[in-house]
Amino acid sequence: MRTYRITHRTRYAYERDVSASYGRMRLLPRDLPGQRCVHASVWLDPAPGDHSEHVDLFGNRVDYFSIHEPHRELVITAESLVEVDYPAGLPLAGDLPWEQVAASLGEAGPDDVDAVHFSLDSPFITASQAFRDYAAPSFTPGRPIVEAVLDLSSRINHEFEFVAGETEVDTPLGDVLEHRRGVCQDFAHIGIACLRSLGLPARYVSGYLETDPPPGQQKLVGADVSHAWFSALVPGAGWVDVDPTNDQVPGERYVVTAFGRDYGDVAPVSGVIYTRGGTTSLDVTVDVVAV
C-alpha cells in the first residue's frame, strides 16, 4: 500500500475586476476498491459566499462555489491524503472475445446502466468509421477483450506524439487522429472513441500520478499536472484501466479523482465569471508526494 499527499493549486489572474464567480470543482479523490481518501479539503481565496459539496451522476465528488465580491485573482487549493492498494494482475474474465462483449451490451446486469452511459456519443467524442478503422488492427476476430484493449493503448502510445500545448480542449478529435499529436486528454479520448466505434463501453478517467517515482523507476509523463486515461468495461470483471500516455496499466502510482463520458464531465475546475476584461494568466501546479 502507498499513501500520497496531493496538493492541486489553480491560480487565475484577471485584467479587470471580476464582480462575481461561479464554479464547480472536481478535485477530491474518490473512494474506490483499492483506493481510500483519508482526508480532503478545498479552499478558495477570496473566500466564497457559498461553498458546498455534492455527488454527481457518475459518483464523483463535486464542490460548488460562488464569490460575490470584486476580485482580480482567484486561487483554488485542494489538498488530499489518499491510500492506494490496487490488486496486481489483470482480470481472468478478460479472455472473453471482444465481439462477445460488444454483443452483450444492453443485457440486464449490475454494470448495465454504466454500459449505456459510456457506449453512446458524448460532447467531445463521436464514434465514426475512422476510429473503427484505427482500432481494427488491435481488435482482430476472436481476440480477448483485455488483450485487444492493451494493444490499442500501446499503439496509441507508439503512434501518437505527446506534445504539450499542441491541442486545446475543443480541438476536434478527428484532427488529433489525423495529426497523431496531443496530450493525455487526447490519447484517452482517442482510445474511448475507438472502443465506442466498435460498440464497446469506455469511460474517461481523471486523476494524478506520483510526482517523484520510487528509486530506480522512471518518471511518468503527466506526473506534474492532472492526468487522464481510459477504462474498458469487461463483463464479470468490471472496469479495466489503461494509460496510453505511458503504455501501462495504472497501479499504485495512480490516484483517481473522477469518471465521466469525456473530459467535459470531469474538468477539475469549470465555471463562469462576470467581468469586462479577460483572464490574463492561468497557473496550475500539482504535487503528489508519497508519505
4: exposed, middle or buried (Cβ count in 10 Å: 0-12, 13-18, 19+):
buried
Residues 126 and 208 grouped into a single domain: yes
pLDDT tens for each residue of 82-105 = 999 987 666 656 688 999 999 887
Residues 109 and 227 grouped into a single domain: yes
Q: Give the pLDDT confidence score for residue 106 in this predicted structure.
A: 64
- Specify the 3-state DSSP secondary structure of 214: coil
pLDDT tens for each residue of 178-222 = 999 999 999 999 999 999 999 999 999 999 998 777 777 777 766
Q: Give the pLDDT confidence score for residue 194 in this predicted structure.
A: 98
Question: Domain of 14: which CATH number?
Answer: 2.60.40.2250
Taking alpha carbons only, the member of 4, 2, 61 closest to residue 34 is 2
Q: Give the pLDDT confidence score for residue 216 in this predicted structure.
A: 79
Q: Is residue 202 within 8 Å of 189, Cβ to Cβ? A: no
Residue 110 in this model has a pLDDT that exceeds 60: no
Query: Which of 20-24, 138-142, 212-216 comes out lowest in average pLDDT?
Result: 212-216
* Helix intervals (H) in the chain: 98-103, 112-117, 129-135, 145-159, 173-179, 184-197, 263-266
Residue 129, C-alpha cell as written in the block: 468509421
Residues 109 and 232 grouped into a single domain: yes
- Kindly state the percentage of the chain with pLDDT values over 90: 74
Q: Is residue 228 within 8 Å of 22, Cβ to Cβ? A: no
Is 259 contained in some domain? no
Q: Tell me how far apart the alpha carbons of residues 276 and 15 are, in angstroms, rounded to a whole number.
A: 9
* Host domain of residue 206: 92-250
Is 272 contained in some domain? yes
Residues 156 and 183 grouped into a single domain: yes
Is residue 273 very low, low, confident or very high in pLDDT (cuts 50, 70, 90)?
confident
Q: Give the pLDDT confidence score for residue 221 in this predicted structure.
A: 65
Domain count within the chain: 2
Is 260 contained in some domain? no
Residue 107 in this model has a pLDDT that exceeds 80: no
Q: What is the pTM of this model?
A: 0.93
Average pLDDT over residues 38-66: 95
Residues 80 and 138 grouped into a single domain: no
Residues 245 and 271 grouped into a single domain: no
Residue 108 in this model has a pLDDT that exceeds 50: no
Q: Is residue 176 within 8 Å of 105, Cβ to Cβ? A: no
Residues 72 and 96 grouped into a single domain: no
pLDDT tens for each residue of 151-163 = 999 999 999 999 9
Taking alpha carbons only, the member of 242, 120, 132 closest to residue 184 is 242
Question: Domain of 123: which CATH number?
Answer: 3.10.620.30
